[in-house]
């Protein structure tokens, strides 16, 4: 794993780019190369290289609006003696902090360390956070579950026409934005299960509805997958003694209706299904302690009944 600190990016990418941009801006104010060198703390030869255009810069940093505003402000302040070195440094440090927080420094960092993609700023700017760890776990759970779904023989036959999805809820989740799933849903194409994207939070309203309703009655189920309703699949689940519940296909106020049914039963069934309605395809939800657990259980039932 390439171990890179944000400070390395500041030294290797940001600082050289800022020096080139400041040198060019100060030159426009009529400062000599030696005067520019004195302001930037470099040699006159270095300034000559900067203003000649021979020094490579990172356009993600150079063209960022916050960079342009800071360069213009600092250059004007130094050229007119309205800023001293302390004040100029303060402006540059503010710029670096801004570029680190989901800016180009974060973008460069995530490119060099793919392991932190999507979470780099949370770690570097805000520090280690148990809530972020939980988000990482949920996203990894959905990725693993989707991989299992896509590699299970015969699973494509159980993907509904409207698509499947896999969801994982954060601990104490209360809204769909706290449930990770696959954007755009999962589809069957030419006998294969296709996963179109990496998981994101808030990507599946229907799976989230089931998991949030389960969470409201203190269920241990935090993962779910939806498949097409199939009589043989349901029979295999029933044969195993799995608790099941049929529900109304209507989408209106479904979360509340789930909660009421779960509360009446004083439990959350592992398999929920409906037989469809006008314009609504029959769908079955399989729940698990996490997304991968739900998919693995569904895969076991598919293995029992699928024609592969």
Q: Which phi-psi region, left, alpha or beta, contains residue 286 (left: φ > 0; alpha: ψ -120 to 50)?
A: beta
Question: By residue range, what is the domain housing residue 184?
Answer: 137-305
In a domain, 132, yes or no: no
Rounded distance, CA 193 to CA 247, Å?
Answer: 26
pTM metric for this prediction: 0.63
Say what the pLDDT of residue 106 is. 84
Same domain, 37 and 175: no
Say what the pLDDT of residue 118 is. 65
Copy the structure tokens of residue 303. 């293995």
Rounded distance, CA 296 to CA 197, Å?
Answer: 20
Say what the pLDDT of residue 217 is. 86
Say what the pLDDT of residue 109 is. 84
Please report, for the domain that includes residue 274, its CATH number.
Answer: 3.40.225.10
Same domain, 122 and 150: no
Say what the pLDDT of residue 101 is. 80
Same domain, 200 and 282: yes
- As averages over each run of 10 residues, the pLDDT of the chain (308 residues) reads 79 92 94 92 92 86 93 94 90 90 84 73 62 83 95 95 96 93 94 92 94 90 97 96 94 91 92 93 97 97 82
Rounded distance, CA 82 to CA 74, Å?
Answer: 9
Rounded distance, CA 125 to CA 106, Å?
Answer: 10
Say what the pLDDT of residue 85 is. 87
Say what the pLDDT of residue 269 is. 95
Contact 250, 283 (CB under 8 A): no
Same domain, 141 and 119: no
DSSP 170: P
Residue 251's φ and ψ, nearest 5 degrees, are: -85, -20
* The domain boundary residue, chosen from 65, 97, 126: 126
Residue 167's φ and ψ, nearest 5 degrees, are: -130, 150
Say what the pLDDT of residue 186 is. 95
Copy the structure tokens of residue 4. 């890179």
Q: How many domains does the chain have?
A: 2
| CB half-sphere exposure, 117, CA atoms < 13 A | 10
Same domain, 114 and 182: no
Same domain, 220 and 252: yes
Same domain, 81 and 52: yes
Copy the structure tokens of residue 144. 């693993």
Same domain, 104 and 163: no
* Token pair 């600092």: residue: 74
Q: CB under 8 Å to 181, separation ≥6 — which residues?
A: 142, 165, 166, 167, 168, 199, 200, 203, 204, 207, 208
Copy the structure tokens of residue 127. 């520090």
Rounded distance, CA 289 to CA 298, Å?
Answer: 13
């Amino acid at each position: 794993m390439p171990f890179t600190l944000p400070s390395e990016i500041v030294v290797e990418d940001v600082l050289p780019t800022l020096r080139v941009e400041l040198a060019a801006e100060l030159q426009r104010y009529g400062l000599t190369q030696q005067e520019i060198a004195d302001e930037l703390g470099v040699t006159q030869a270095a300034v000559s290289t900067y203003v000649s255009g021979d020094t490579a810069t990172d356009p993600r940093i150079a063209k960022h609006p916050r960079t342009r505003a800071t360069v213009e402000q600092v250059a004007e302040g130094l050229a007119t003696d309205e800023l001293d070195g302390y004040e100029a440094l303060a402006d540059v440090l503010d710029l670096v902090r801004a570029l680190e927080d989901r800016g180009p420094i974060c973008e460069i960092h995530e490119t060099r360390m793919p392991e932190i993609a999507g979470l780099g700023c949370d770690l570097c700017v805000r520090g280690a956070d148990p809530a972020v760890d939980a988000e990482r776990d949920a996203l990894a759970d959905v990725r693993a579950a989707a991989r299992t779904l896509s590699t299970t023989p015969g699973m494509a036959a159980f993907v509904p026409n409207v698509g499947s999805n896999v969801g994982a809820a954060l601990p104490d989740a209360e809204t769909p934005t706290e449930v990770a799933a696959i954007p755009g849903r999962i589809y069957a194409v030419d006998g294969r299960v296709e996963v179109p994207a990496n998981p994101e939070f808030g990507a599946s309203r229907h799976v989230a509805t089931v998991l949030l309703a389960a969470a409201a009655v203190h269920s241990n189920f935090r993962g779910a997958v939806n498949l097409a309703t199939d009589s043989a699949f349901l029979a295999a689940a029933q044969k195993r003694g799995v608790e099941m519940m049929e529900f109304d296909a209507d989408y209106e106020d479904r979360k509340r209706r789930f909660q009421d049914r779960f509360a009446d039963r004083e439990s959350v069934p592992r398999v929920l299904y409906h037989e469809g309605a006008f314009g609504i395809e029959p769908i079955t939800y399989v729940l698990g302690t996490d997304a991968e657990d739900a998919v693995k259980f569904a895969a076991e039932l598919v293995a029992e009944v699928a024609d592969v």
